[in-house]
Structure 1
């Protein structure tokens, strides 16, 4: 258990570095350690980062069911064994029927002892725009464990993971825990009557609960278009949780009104608006956050000052961090087998490289210069690494603001026309929502967006 807690602590620290922001919602719905057996059942959009985030945020010791092919490499096998993972055999990986009787027995034991397990019912990480059809494994484990241990109440906690830009380093992620599904006497009676039908019905409930925590669209083009609609509708200064909930609602209700000619025409206008922004190298955030040239220059000055503040500390270890960053970027795209594995490759390879390089440098300092110097190197390297992240962030902000400053002069008429079109589109979206929303659906923002002509907003 000590090795698990050490690895979990390392994951929490590494994830705080890898992601700019990790927002966690619904922890009150998660039974605390010692509060009974729990099955975390979530969507699976980002490979090994999905279980890492649940491990780091849920407050429980979680034993994940993982496909057995992950146990083949010595490093991953040792890591997964320390984390108490249970190998599952997948038919697709073995080219024929397989037996998971031993794995199910191990998971029954985990739950019977009041502990927690995690499983991704989609079966495989993917880069699709919506939740894939769920397999019945989570339901079968829950029902089987409840029947095996009749005095214990198994709870399934639906979990939603949403990455703002899932392949990006320093993006934001939302982890949502939903209301638990208790495997009560009714479910056990249904399982006694027809085990297969009960597992299928429970899987449908799990799917509905996970969909309620995730954003789903039939394709990426629709998802991007509706995200643009969401930005046109939302008020200023929403937090990540509110933005994702608004996006989920638009995508959930869009199929019901997609056949309306007025909706199709409005969505086409939104796409043309987005295309004009892209042609100018702008985003909706740039346009809405449009400021005067003096304000832009002031922001450049602020970012420049912060860059200069962090730069000396960053330069101390720049010969180490700069090659590491470039190597990691190349390795992630060169060796990631699928798009949904790019971020995991960055995270795992980056973590291993940093630990190895830092360890070698601290060891060299200890061997050559003594323990005082080794302690100084141990403290300096991560501080300089963090300073490097801050320098890169401020440099990117300066580059963006200077680009906006140039465009505000060179293409000023186009920007004015786009702002006017945005105002018209925003009003049209609000009117469409008011006209087509189901009567029973309570509006998150009854007055719609409160966006003036040229606000200093922070929508994304």
Structure 2
């Protein structure tokens, strides 16, 4: 059952997100009790990502409110999700919280993996919320009742390029594990409530530090976007000079810049403000023209004809598949867009993915029945089953193939647009290249200033 659930999860997520990259898998112990703690930016999608892409499948501790969505109850039960009845949801039941924690501790004592979102709720903020103490309590409870079980607490950061945008990217970063210290476990044995509480708070603080070291941490989404833009620029100073080999490495640069920014805006406020203004102008210009930074630094070739010709050939050969995929998958996709549009930002991708899990098969089934009746009227009764079965197979297969063509179409359109706007008679290309050069110089100067300040603070 676990393999089936993980396979289904990967299938639906890889249909929605173009790329899901996992790093740090070696940090997750291959055996023994583990608590996975993760940031919670994307509602139920976060749980599916962790369940489907971690090396070991965890059992989740989740708010009982998700059982209100009746269609997904069988999935929750099959995945072994443990309900948590919380006062903040109006679901508190006497004795339920100790019972839930005891059940979680039992899972750990059996060597299992428990997953928790310690922020307590999903949100759309650009940084972590304060962590609840439940994770620390469960870890200490399991350790204190099993003679130093040494539960490994593993932080996992989920980063979404644009969590609600179809065919965007997702990054899963697994960090080094930590364990409760013998002193914390001993304190948890204490009959003094203050001592017990102190041990829980101390371990919670450690968990928070580990998770904050990986998870996105910004004051505003505008700040996050500009720091991301700065990471792109400093990672590729010149044409064909990329200093990163993937989104994970670029995200590490982004995280380092974010930490440095928190310092230099205090120590070098005027330089930081000037750089921020330049970045905002550059970013606004790129967004207004629908261009990417990589297209600016790597000026499009003199002719885009070979690229378009190659893409056109691929389109022509795949046209029948694209047409079938369009007919069988575009209508339910449009319905999903309409359904998710009215939801808050935090839950739009959840509605798209989970509703799509049911809506696409329903539409394929209806289309198969209609096709069967048409086939039977044209070629006889036996054609009903042949036509119906063909449509049921063609729905998901053509849909998956069509995704590849959609990605190709998007990339072709982006390159053609870049060539038109950067190779045109206007001065856009020169203006963008100059703005980028100035930003890179200021960025390097601030990085050097930050390093110099750090060197001065280091003890002799």
TM-score of the superposed pair, with normalisation by structure 2: 0.88
Aligned residue for 2:331? 323
Out of 8, 21, 24, which is 1:23 matched to?
A: 21
Instruction: Identify the range of structure 1 (39-48 vs 164-173) with the bigger mean alpha-carbon deviation.
Output: 164-173
Residues 50-101 of structure 1: CA deviation (Å, up to 9, x unaligned): 1111111112231101111111233222221111111112222118897512
Contact 2:118 2:133 survives alignment (8 Å): yes
What residue in structure 1 maps to residue 82 of structure 2? 86
Shift of 1:411: 5.2
Which position in structure 2 is the counterpart of 1:186? 183
Residue-pair matches, total: 434
Aligned to 1:59: 55
Deviation at 1:390, TM superposition (A): 2.5
8 Å Cα contact 1:304/1:394 also seen in 2 = no
User: How far did residue 424 of structure 1 move?
Assistant: 2.3
Q: 2: distance between equivalents of 1:279 and 1:57?
A: 36
Deviation at 1:270, TM superposition (A): 1.7
Residue 198 (1) aligns with residue 199 (2) = yes
Q: Aligned runs of 1:17-416 on 2, under 5 Å?
A: 17-32=15-30, 35-94=31-90, 99-150=96-147, 152-193=149-190, 194-235=195-236, 236=242, 238=244, 239-259=246-266, 260=268, 261-294=270-303, 296-334=304-342, 336=343, 338-360=344-366, 369=383, 376-410=390-424, 412-416=426-430
- Would the aligned equivalents of 2:296 and 2:433 in 1 still touch at CA under 8 Å? yes
Q: 1:397, CA displacement in angstroms?
A: 2.6
Q: Deviations over 1:212-267 (max 9, x none)?
A: 11221111121112122212211316211111111111112211111311122122
Per-residue deviation, 1:394: 2.6
Provide closer, same or farther for how the CA distance between residues 258 and 151 of structure 1 changes in structure 2, counting only shifts above 3 A: closer
How far apart are 1:440 and its partner, in Å?
6.3
CA distance in 2, matches of 1:94, 1:318: 44
| Structure 2 stretches lacking a partner, 5+ long | 237-241, 374-380, 456-460
SS at match of 2:83: strand
Q: Do the aligned residues in 2 keep the contact of 1:64 with 1:119 (CA within 8 Å)?
A: yes
Q: 1:360 to 1:5 in 2, by over 3 A?
A: farther
Question: Does structure 1 residue 428 correspond to structure 2 residue 428?
Answer: no
SS at match of 2:159: strand
Per-residue CA deviation, residues 343-387 of structure 1 (Å, 9 max, x unaligned), is 111111112112323345567759964766665444432221123
Alpha-carbon separation, structure 1, partners of 2:67 and 2:259: 38
Is residue 215–residue 247 contact of structure 1 (8 Å, CA) maintained in 2?
no
Q: 1:278 to 1:51 in 2, by over 3 A?
A: closer
State the 1:102 CA deviation: 1.8
**CA 1:421/1:388 → structure 2, altered by over 3 Å: closer, same or farther?**
same
In structure 2, distance between residues paired with 1:322 and 1:402: 25
Q: Distance in 2 between matches of 1:418 and 1:361?
A: 50
Asked whether the 8 Å contact 2:300–2:418 carries over to 1, the reply is no
Secondary structure of the corresponding residue to residue 43 of structure 2: coil
Q: Does the C-alpha gap of structure 1 residues 113 and 423 become closer, same or farther in structure 2, counting only changes over 3 Å? A: same
Q: Structure 1 regions of 5+ residues with no counterpart?
A: 442-460
**Closer, same or farther: CA 397–137 of 1 in aligned 2, 3 Å:** same
RMSD value over aligned CA atoms?
Answer: 2.4
SS at match of 2:35: strand
CA distance in 2, matches of 1:292, 1:301: 14
TM (norm. structure 1) is 0.88
Is contact 2:329–2:395 with CA below 8 Å preserved after alignment? no
